Structure 1
Amino acid sequence: MSAWRVRDFHSDDLDQAVAVWEQSRPTGSPAPVFGFAEAVSAVRAGQPAVVAVAAEEVVGVAIARVDGERAWIQVIALDARWRNRGVGSSLLAGLERRLRGLDVRRISAVLPEDATGSVAMRNSGYHVRTDLTYYEKVEHAAGDAGLLAALGGRMLPPGLWDLLAGMEAEKEAIEHRIVLPLAHPDVADRYGVVPPKAAILFGPPGTGKTSFAKAIASRLQWPFVELFPARLAADSDGLAAALRATFSDLADLDEVLVFIDEVEEIAGVRSGRATDPSHAVTNELLKTIPGFRERGDRLLVCATNSVRALDPAFLRPGRFDYVLPVGPPDRTARAAIWRRYLGPAADDVDLERLVGASELFTPADIEFAARKGAQAAFEREVRDQRGEPATTADYLASIADTRPTLTTDAVTAFAEDIEAHSRQ
């Protein structure tokens, strides 16, 4: 029998914890008092949480929320293969140790009868009280971990926003227009600011539009769901029907950031022929967006390399609050991006030469060139074993050997698109 150990919950345990939570609840079992979305919010807020791991696989999870001298156990879930082995009791013991360190004196839990963890709780000295009646008023449907998984969504780790090196003009615009009103809705309402529900990010390929969308979700700590037109098109009922069904499912989530990359594939300029299949798809998306906007705590972010290719109706203010450019990095941004990918090596090279040599490079191009230069130095060290770090020459050679994503024509077209389509 393999051994297990109990340790603190880490952010990268989330996907496995969701899987354990889902399969620990038999089909038809009563709904738990605390949904997993509530438990995830507790973890994000730094509340105590532990996992049981066997060979680095998460096989159990327990999460609590502290309120003064009382703590509520919100989740106790076990992998079916590891039940009746004492894992649940070990999870509770590990959680209790952390709670005692927070001066908690009373630990409570409300579980459906015979729910996962109930045996462990009785074995761990928890008493069943039959003189209580549980009351509940549900204002709105709780976010559903199973639905999120079915949609291919996930919770992204915190801190992605801070990893966006450089691009300060884009970061400032996106933070002020999008992030802050959504993160502080009460303040926004007090000043008559309506939080956005939809935005378009446009710019040349590789400039970081997808990274910005993920960073927004990370900053808000909202689930991130990316829709792939090609996958939706594989639906037997067709792309338009798949879009309609997917957005219907999304309505059941409490909060969500929905991201569609290369949206011009499904929202391009219509031909005017009603029989054109793309016409029906664009129409369906145009009809879907107003309904999506009616619900709170949700944001649609669409990205495109060619904003001029989008149907004019798609760009109207009633559908998208902002149309924001995400352009190629300037010298300051390129320096910051190089520093991020070079790490400590940035102090040992001529950064200004690298910045000047990578004028038409996107952040993705710089990342590739930085890794290629480091690889060259690594291979030299394996061969010669001289202990020499990567040099300016290594990185200049990797820049010369990297084909930039951007061209002068693309930069010119982007400037024209800003003039014609930007709305911020």
Structure 2
Amino acid sequence: MAILIRDLHDDDLDGILQLWELVRSTGPAPVYSLAEVIASCQKDHAVVAVEAGRVVGAAVGRAAHAQGWIVFFAVDRSHVETDIGSRLLSALERRMLPLGLAKLSVLLAEGDDLVDGFESAGFEPRQSLRYLERVIPVQRQELGVLQELGGRLLRRDLWGEVAGMRTEKALLEQRLVLPLAQPDLAAEFGVVPPRAVMLFGPPGTGKTTFARAVASRLGWPFVEVFPSRLAADERGLPAALRDTFLKVAELEHAVLFMDEVEEVASRRRGDPPSAMQGVTNELLKLIPEFRDQPGRLLICATNFIRALDGAFLRHGRFDYVIPIGLPDEDARRAIWERYIPGSVIGSIDLSRLVERSDGLTPADIEYAARAASQSALERALRDPDPAVGTLVTEDYLLALRGTRATVSAETAAEFFQDIEVLARL
């Protein structure tokens, strides 16, 4: 029976599915996923070969500016004529001709025996090329939900920008990032990817920075929850919390970050129950439900871990309870290097600054660095002599003397006690 080449109809999609499965089961996996192929069938350009009402071949193309790409090409060779492939390619090229394309290209898997057929149709192989791809973590249908949540995709280099803190970074990399980024590898060793973690430590030590860095390292959307904002919801804080968690469940991947969680999970005391106890109860219900959803990570952070309700930190809710403390010597050096201008850093005694800033948070060091820069700028405006306005070590030492440490010695001592009692690594 004759083979008919025509444009794809809506009821041909089942035939496309069967061809895609045929290709997948008899040779190298198709370059493009089934979802991408179906999307192009519906929105781009596709022709099919039909025999006795059955789809026995297909060519699907997509235009990108002046270049066309063949997204899918398949022929059921057991039932069709030998020249059906070239007829499909010719039909697709004619279909896309009005687009003014300069070239038509195709990507084939290594070992695909369609290479000869494409060469005979006039396609020329390009040498010394490598194909790379990265999956975008947010699909089009998820964008509205992400926008409603106030979430966003962060820059992928934030992990590298976390200055120093090598111990904390190594711990987060091993415990969180690797099992979540490579779940199949983790499963081989019986490692269950974490679903929820608690970061605790004094104010200003970088807990939010670490949470963002983890999201950046994973390449997942970052959604930050602000209890104070949810409290303004007319439905009440418990309902607003539940609605947020339900919306996050609509995303394929997400890092949900809740800072200052002690505001909604403080210790429950006595009778009658307060409104805040109801919020704590709701959150205690939401976390187990959240844990049942793969591809998501809840990161909570607190400055006052002793204020949290005891049930909140029990095993089964948080996989890890991780301390984030004051920056060590290497971290302080890296922070200073970030904020001292490159034009003068060679003349600055960094060792003195590192020593004098012991006990300061990253935010404290940033404040001192910016105060020194501002002082030098004002001095330069008063005196046009370039030497007068140059930043020197003394500018930073003077700024340090005027910087009040966020973390007191008493708070630091309590933090180390909390590590001994509450940390779970």
TM-score, length of structure 2 as denominator length: 0.68
Aligned-residue Cα RMSD (Å) equals 2.7
C-alpha displacement of 1:143: 5.6
Deviation of residue 174 (structure 1)?
1.0
Name the structure 2 match of 1:411: 412
**CA separation in 1, counterparts of 2:140 and 2:194?**
22
Deviates more, 1:172-181 or 1:296-305: 172-181
1:387 match: 386
Matches within 5 A, 1:23-422: 95-96=64-65, 106=69, 124-125=99-100, 144-344=142-342, 345-388=344-387, 389-422=390-423
Q: Tell me, in whole angstroms, the C-alpha distance in 2 between the residues paired with 1:416 and 1:191.
A: 33
Change (3 A) 1:271 1:123: farther
CA distance in 1, matches of 2:141, 2:281: 29
Please state how far the C-alpha of 1:413 moved relative to its aligned partner.
0.6
TM-score by length of 1: 0.69
How big is the shift at 1:182?
Answer: 0.7
- Pairs aligned (count): 311
Residues 143, 251 of structure 1: alpha-carbon distance in 2 compared, 3 angstrom cutoff: farther
Residues 84-115 of structure 1 deviation map (CA, whole Å, 9 limit, x = unaligned)? xxxxxxxx99x546x6xxxxx63569xxxxxx
Counterpart-to-counterpart distance in 2, 1:321 and 1:256: 17
Give the Cα–Cα distance (whole angstroms) in 1 for the partners of residues 306 and 325 of structure 2.
15
Give the distance between the partners of 2:380 and 2:71, measured in 1 at CA.
Answer: 58
**Do 1:267 and 1:310's aligned partners in 2 also have CA atoms closer than 8 Å?**
yes
Matching residue's letter, 1:106: W
- Aligned residue for 2:315, secondary structure, equals coil
Note closer, same or farther for the CA distance 1:297–1:274 as it changes in structure 2 (3 Å cut): farther
- SS of the counterpart of 2:156? coil
User: 1:61 maps to which residue?
Assistant: none
Secondary structure of the residue that 1:161 maps to in structure 2? helix
Deviation of 1:305 (Å): 0.3
Check the 8 A contact 1:328/1:361 in 2, yes or no.
Answer: yes
Secondary structure (helix, strand or coil) at the match of 2:358 reads: coil
How far the C-alpha of 1:325 sits from its partner, in A, is 0.2
Q: Is the 8 A contact 1:240 1:284 kept in 2?
A: yes
Looking at structure 1, the residues matched to 356 and 97 of structure 2 have their Cα atoms a distance apart, in angstroms, of: 67
Distance apart, 1:142 and its partner CA: 7.4
Whole-angstrom CA distance in 2 between matches of 1:149 and 1:282: 27
Question: Post-superposition shift, 1:336?
Answer: 1.6
1:142/1:124 CA distance change after superposition, 3 Å: closer
Offset at 1:380?
Answer: 2.0
- Identity percentage of aligned residues: 51
Tell me the SS of whatever aligns to 1:359.
coil
Q: Distance in 2 between matches of 1:234 and 1:214?
A: 25
Larger Rg computed on CA atoms? 2
